[in-house]
């Protein structure tokens, strides 16, 4: 698995590259935002927010626009509001420096588990004009691939496991964000709105007032 380490500190960056290599990953390092964008495509991203050429949050948004790879923010910004902002922006996890390498690897593996298909026997699912490929984590509409973020794909894939069933916001948080997430459920609505726009079929994800959402299969 190719892991992009976006880190401008040579000591930290080198240590991460060596450690990840020992763990069986294929890491590549970028010290600037420009280098990070040029290193794509990758399978996973560790993103430092304190970069010399561009704000890390802006880079996160640029990476999200062109890549569906899971992203863990790795930063010295440890205030609660910073962690909440990062996670609500769509980061898959948020690690504050200084951190233990074993903890970082555990968090990478936890994100990978959440991102992996849970039903290996049903890797591809067709719902009207929408096709979900769980193995490659790709979504197509009438044969055209759309660029879903990991959270958007997680929402669609989770709803698609039982089309027509109402899924509560809490169930979605527990299964997509993880049971240790204690943020607001309102961010689900933000991701759903973005997913609807990308699908081009707003009615495919129906809101159930005060409860959650359900997937309505287009005819």
Same domain, yes or no: 16 and 110: yes
Task: Evaluate the CA torsion angle 211, 69, 101, 77 in order and state its sign.
Answer: negative
What is the tens place of the pLDDT at every residue in 143-158? 899 988 888 998 999 8
Same domain, yes or no: 95 and 154: no
| Cβ-based neighbour number of residue 86 at 10 Å | 23
Question: pLDDT grade, residue 171 (50/70/90)?
Answer: confident
**Could you tell me the residue range of the domain that residue 189 belongs to?**
124-215
Same domain, yes or no: 57 and 128: no
* pLDDT at site 183: 62
Domain boundary among 82, 115, 148: 115
* Res. 118: pLDDT tops 50: no
- Our count of domains for the chain comes to 2
* Res. 184: pLDDT tops 80: no
Same domain, yes or no: 128 and 109: no
Across the range 117-142, mean pLDDT stands at 78
Domain boundary among 86, 115, 144: 115
pTM, two decimal places: 0.58
Q: Any idea which of 94-108, 113-127, 165-179 has the lowest mean pLDDT?
A: 113-127
Across the range 51-74, mean pLDDT stands at 88
What is the tens place of the pLDDT at every residue in 199-216? 998 789 999 988 999 999
DSSP symbols for 59-119 = HHHHHHHH----EEEEES--SHHHHHHHHHHT-SEEEESS--HHHHHHHHHHHHHHHS-S-
């Amino acid at each position: 698995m190719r892991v992009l380490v976006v880190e401008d500190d040579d000591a930290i960056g080198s240590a991460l590259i060596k450690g990840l290599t020992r763990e069986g990953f294929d890491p590549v390092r970028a010290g600037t935002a420009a280098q990070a964008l040029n290193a794509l495509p990758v399978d996973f991203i560790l993103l430092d927010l304190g970069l010399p050429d561009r704000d890390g949050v802006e880079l996160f948004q640029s990476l999200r626009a062109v890549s569906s790879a899971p992203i863990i923010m790795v930063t010295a910004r440890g205030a609660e509001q910073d962690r909440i902002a990062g996670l609500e922006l769509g980061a898959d996890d948020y690690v504050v420096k200084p951190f233990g390498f074993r903890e970082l690897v555990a968090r990478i593996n936890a994100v990978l588990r959440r991102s992996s298909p849970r039903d290996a026997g049903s890797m591809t699912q067709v719902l009207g004009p929408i096709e979900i490929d769980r193995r490659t984590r790709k979504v197509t509409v009438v044969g055209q691939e759309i660029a879903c973020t990991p959270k958007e794909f997680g929402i669609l894939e989770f709803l698609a496991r039982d089309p027509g069933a109402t899924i509560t916001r809490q169930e979605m948080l527990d299964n997509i964000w993880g049971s240790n997430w204690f943020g607001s459920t309102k961010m689900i609505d933000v991701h759903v709105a973005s997913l609807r726009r990308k699908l081009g079929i707003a009615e495919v994800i129906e809101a159930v007032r005060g409860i959650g959402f359900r997937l309505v299969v287009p005819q």
